[in-house]
Amino acid sequence: MTKITVSKLISSSESTTIEWKPSLSQIHEIIESITAFANTEGGCLFVGVSKYGEIGGVQIGKGTVEDLVNRIAQHTDPRILTPPQ
């Protein structure tokens, strides 16, 4: 199996299976990308990466991930839920 690192994925360009969003404030675009991935061959969405592949990061507060998962589930039909970790 080929091992692909996150830095290698980010150093490539966006594609039909790789998307970058600079911040969590782009929730509608994030949900749109996740929905597209769910309806095709899947993919990876990186939040905190600019459209030029520059890593800026995001601030993650208490409840941020839970809020993101809930908003994705509420705005997709059938609901897209994250797998258990």
Percent of the chain having pLDDT more than 70?
A: 92
| 5 pLDDT tier (thresholds 50, 70, 90) | confident
For range 3-16, the mean pLDDT? 81
pLDDT at 35 exceeding the cut of 80? yes
For range 59-79, the mean pLDDT? 88
How high does pLDDT run on average in the chain? 86
What does pTM read for this prediction?
A: 0.80
From 10, 17, 52, 60, select the one nearest 38 (Cα to Cα): 17
pLDDT at 85 exceeding the cut of 50? no
Q: How far apart are CA 25 and CA 84, in angstroms?
A: 25
Q: How far apart are CA 44 and CA 14, in angstroms?
A: 10
Domain ranges of the chain: 14-74
